[in-house]
Amino acid sequence: MSRGKFITFEGGEGVGKTTNVTFVFEYLQARKIPVILTREPGGTKLAEKLRTLLLDKKSEAIAEEAELLLMFAARAQHIKHVIEPALARGDWVICDRFTDATYAYQGGGRNMKISTIEGLENLVQGSLRPDLTILLDAPVKIGMERAGKRGEFDRFESETMQFFENVRRAYLLQAEIHPQRIKLIKANQQLTDIQQIIINVLSPLLR
């Protein structure tokens, strides 16, 4: 039994991650590839509870260090109980956000030290890294308009435009640092065009 592939979707608010993870999940299922769809923060009972705490804009002010540690606490649970077992049994894992989001939001947005994030990444993940990351990128204003149509903003969505510009810049830097793994796709184009590009990007993994 060969190990499954680990594919993550990244990008700022409202760029279309949820729409496209669902598309890829169904695309792989149609090809009879065993696959699970999951998300971060979240993916296990405890990690989903941490997600609720992290996204609750009525919570007490969360210290930046606490936010970073809670993201990695949720990730540790997710890897141990969902991601690693699935990959080991040969399933593909499609994940809506993963550690690039920490580099973008806690690194770019909150200005936490990259070396601190790297240390936690190595501690929690060991050698686990995605086989492929699809980074959907759009001007902040477009993503926020799309996200705004869904209703009330959560704790992150309530941040300033400058915060999201910093998040976007940090994501683009991640794509520069990891050009083999991260495929950058412009998200302000027709969904059908985006999905055709995603199929093309996936095809080497399907061979």
Distance CA 34, CA 73 (A): 27
CA atoms within 13 A on the CB side of 28: 24
Return the DSSP state at 67. H
Q: Which is nearer to ligand T5A, 5 or 97 (CB)?
A: 97
Q: Which is nearer to ligand T5A, 4 or 11 (CB)?
A: 11
What would the x/- binding string for ligand T5A be over residues 158 to 187, using CB under 6 A? Answer: -----------------------------x
**Phi (first) and psi of residue 56, to 5 degrees:** -75, 115
Residue from the set 3, 19, 121, 183 that interacts with ligand T5A by CB under 6 A: 19
Q: Which is nearer to ligand T5A, 33 or 55 (CB)?
A: 55
Q: How far apart are the first and last CA of the chain?
A: 16
What would the x/- binding string for ligand T5A be over residues 21 to 60, using CB under 6 A? Answer: -------------------xx-------------------
Query: Does 79 engage in binding with ligand T5A (CB under 6 A)?
Result: no
Residue from the set 3, 18, 175, 178 that interacts with ligand T5A by CB under 6 A: 18
- 3-class secondary-structure state, position 124: helix
- 3-class secondary-structure state, position 43: coil
Q: To the nearest whole angstrom, how small is the minimum distance from the Cβ of residue 33 to ligand T5A?
A: 22
**Residue 57: other Cβ atoms inside 10 A:** 11
Distance CA 202, CA 207 (A): 9
Distance CA 20, CA 8 (A): 11
Residue from the set 5, 17, 78, 168 that interacts with ligand T5A by CB under 6 A: 17
Q: Which is nearer to ligand T5A, 2 or 192 (CB)?
A: 192
**Residue 58: other Cβ atoms inside 10 A:** 5
Q: To the nearest whole angstrom, how small is the minimum distance from the Cβ of residue 96 to ligand T5A?
A: 6
**Phi (first) and psi of residue 117, to 5 degrees:** -65, -45
Query: Does 152 engage in binding with ligand T5A (CB under 6 A)?
Result: no
Q: Which is nearer to ligand T5A, 4 or 41 (CB)?
A: 41
Distance CA 36, CA 39 (A): 10
**Chain positions contacting ligand T5A, by CB under 6 A:** 11, 13-19, 40-41, 71, 96-97, 101-102, 105-106, 146-147, 149, 156-157, 187, 191, 194
